Amino acid sequence: MRRVLSWSLAVAILLAAAVWGGLTLRERATFGTKINEEDLTVEVDEGDRFSLAVPDRGASVGDAWSAAATPDGIVAAVEDRKVMSNVWDRVFGPEAGGGAGTRYFIYTAETPGTVRVTLANCFQGCRDDDSRGLSREVTWTVTVG
């Protein structure tokens, strides 16, 4: 009996490690290197995948992020993806009025050079002075080597 429990525990640990490792590899393949606002100057290698991350309070609050990279051709936008801040929202989706998390703008480094990538949040459509005051921009300088 003791031997069966030991083997069962070993199998459960190995299975958990395999699942964790698979999820980690999937996340790395999806997002590449995650870069947040603490590091606005970035160096990547040609062919690398990387993500620029900003907090996103959700469309129901009024966040509407967009991205622009200049000059063209140095990095290629893959997609932008929001990851909810809690597991419940990730599994079941956010409740009405919810949906805070992190917005990732995913890029691949295409050719050597330096590019400025600006992420802008036009809060609530920038419709008045208050919403424009709550809007913001973040700019990264990305060097592809």
* pLDDT the model gives residue 57: 87
CB 120 within 8 A of CB 65: yes
Q: 89: which residues sit within 8 A by CB, 6+ positions away?
A: 95, 98, 99, 101
CB 104 within 8 A of CB 80: yes
From first to last of its 145 residues, the chain has per-residue pLDDT tens of: 778 777 777 676 777 666 666 666 677 779 999 999 999 999 999 999 999 999 998 877 888 999 999 999 999 999 999 988 766 665 666 666 667 899 999 999 999 999 999 999 999 988 899 888 889 999 999 999 9
CA 102/CA 84 separation, integer angstroms: 6
CB 62 within 8 A of CB 116: no
Token pair for 143? 């060097």
52-80: b (≥16 Cβ within 10 Å) or e: bbbebbbeeebbebeeebeeeebbeebeb
* pLDDT the model gives residue 59: 78
* pLDDT the model gives residue 40: 98
- 59 phi/psi in degrees, rounded to 5: -65, -30
* pLDDT the model gives residue 13: 76
* pLDDT the model gives residue 96: 63
| The CA-based dihedral angle spanning residues 26, 30, 32, 34, taken in that order and rounded to the nearest 10 degrees | -100
DSSP assignment string, 32-71: -EEE-TT--EEEE-TT-EEEEEEEE--TTTT--EEEEEES
